[in-house]
Structure 1
């Protein structure tokens, strides 16, 4: 029980139990998403996300002893996936400690909803960690992934940290650990399609025939890109994946985005397969990088594509991973939660 729940000043303090806090990061959409072979050579939906530093969700769960475990209130209202995850986590945690009970869930964060940055998964993971913390537990990523898939229907691999993983989003399991970190890249983020949400589960599934061979080829290329820290190869993979997904998403800005990448010397483009966030990838070792980034920003403005934020795939001493020579700008639609 926390000190806050022992304070007699609150009239309902006696009805409250322990409080736990959990946090989860976000991502910037996918580098690669499609159909791949699992360890038994069976076709399986999978993805590799692009981590983004410094953004995410925080959850606080306060137990209410002697209430049914399904009695979970959530704020802000409408976070139904997080609420479902809380109930599932209560049962999973209480089974190891004592009888389950309901509680109060409060979510905070700075993630835009519907752009494809994993806002719902971030909420869900933070929630599961908060519930577990209220029982004095630290659940392993595999358990969190199972709960997340049950709560959402599909999940991003945010519970596993920032390592590049090929993750079966509809099954909650890792298909392959590609390495310890993605190749170094500076990502100029932008928003497509007016930031409208995309219902991933309603989209047509990739073809298991011809597409399977293409995606397995991209998987091998990405594996090599990670091993060799090859940013150019990373850009080729993400661009090819985005181009294949364009058959389903059909972003009208796609030609403009690829044109800007070509004209400014970007390694490639990256587009969320479950939303409208996108990015242009630049090798930080490229000569004249400052000039290229300025030209990119001007070209995005001319094309009417809002720039959101610039970040890196590698650690820097600066807040949110943004080196001093990059420009960070945000549009209201891109930062609205």
Structure 2
């Protein structure tokens, strides 16, 4: 960017702002039979990461809070890519807890890129954003406004599934943290039968979105949660499966590489409020804290 133009922008006291939603784990996570590539299907929820970018002429980038170093790395990479000065302050505020499988890091990265884009009017395409995010860590597909099938290790879109029906997730956090970067360093070994089932589940889920079939969405999420026990066990899974059946929930959904587990309810179900109250009572009587998340 021309130095004079950049100085004029600085003098205008503009602030670049960006936002990204998180995702409650995944509706489905596995590997495809035909290409042996790991994929996940996002579940966007109304929790957000927000970033503000304040450029200056210092030559160095300060990030607040300081622990958001992944966002700092992406910001510097992005500014260098467009041959822009790297001085300024990047401030991030997030509703998303870290290390829990709700795509907190991915949301931070997307919000960061959007804040810089907002300031400099770069019109960053998602394929470029994916390439730059891949340099930082494996990522979720939260840069897309709809539910998507996403190659999280490759950081690449596979397919857009579309908008999700209005769902509520009533959930608990089993505790601890999972480092996404460390978790994804080690390849998973699947049997041919598992690969075939994951492929069938993905096709079933794609068709469920075309039909807006919430029952099928719940069935796929539940089966994926069960199959994931080999990789990231949820100690409460049997209890949640029992409650799902007894209380008429759509099924169980988990953060496959995180610590959350939840039950899906459709807000258009005429018994929604009754089911939500019943599940709230059951979970609150057993667990320390219960969380409620709505899909976007």
1:188 is aligned to 2:163: no
Q: Which residue of 1 aligns with 2:43?
A: 50
* Cα 1:296–1:203 shift into 2, 3 Å: farther
Deviation, structure 1 residue 120: 0.8
1:35 is aligned to 2:20: no
Deviation, structure 1 residue 31: 0.3
Q: Distance in 1 between matches of 2:109 and 2:17?
A: 13
1:148-167 deviation digits (Å, cap 9, x = unpaired) = 12112x11111111x12110
Deviates more, 1:209-218 or 1:133-142: 133-142
Deviation, structure 1 residue 64: 3.2
1:127-159 deviation digits (Å, cap 9, x = unpaired) = 11222233221211221122112112x111111
1:144 is aligned to 2:140: no
Report the TM-score when normalising by structure 1: 0.79
Mind listing any 5+ residue stretches in structure 1 that lack a counterpart? 8-16, 315-337
1:95-123 deviation digits (Å, cap 9, x = unpaired) = xxxx5433321111222112211111111
- Aligned pairs, number: 289
1:61 is aligned to 2:47: no
CA RMSD of aligned residues (A): 2.4
* Cα 1:122–1:310 shift into 2, 3 Å: closer
Q: Distance in 2 between matches of 1:19 and 1:285?
A: 40
Q: Which residue of 2 aligns with 1:326?
A: none
* Cα 1:305–1:48 shift into 2, 3 Å: farther
Q: Which residue of 1 aligns with 2:20?
A: 24
Report the TM-score when normalising by structure 2: 0.89
Q: Which residue of 1 aligns with 2:117?
A: 132
Q: Distance in 1 between matches of 2:17 and 2:267?
A: 36
Mind listing any 5+ residue stretches in structure 2 that lack a counterpart? 1-5
Q: Distance in 2 between matches of 1:23 and 1:285?
A: 28
Q: Which residue of 1 aligns with 2:3?
A: none
Match of 1:76 among 54, 62, 65: 65
1:151 aligns to what SS in structure 2? coil
Q: Distance in 1 between matches of 2:271 and 2:17?
A: 44
Q: Which residue of 1 aligns with 2:11?
A: 6
Deviation, structure 1 residue 18: 6.1
* Cα 1:2–1:294 shift into 2, 3 Å: farther
* Cα 1:239–1:101 shift into 2, 3 Å: same
Q: Would the aligned equivalents of 1:187 and 1:279 in 2 still touch at CA under 8 Å?
A: yes
Q: Distance in 2 between matches of 1:104 and 1:267?
A: 44
* Cα 1:204–1:306 shift into 2, 3 Å: farther
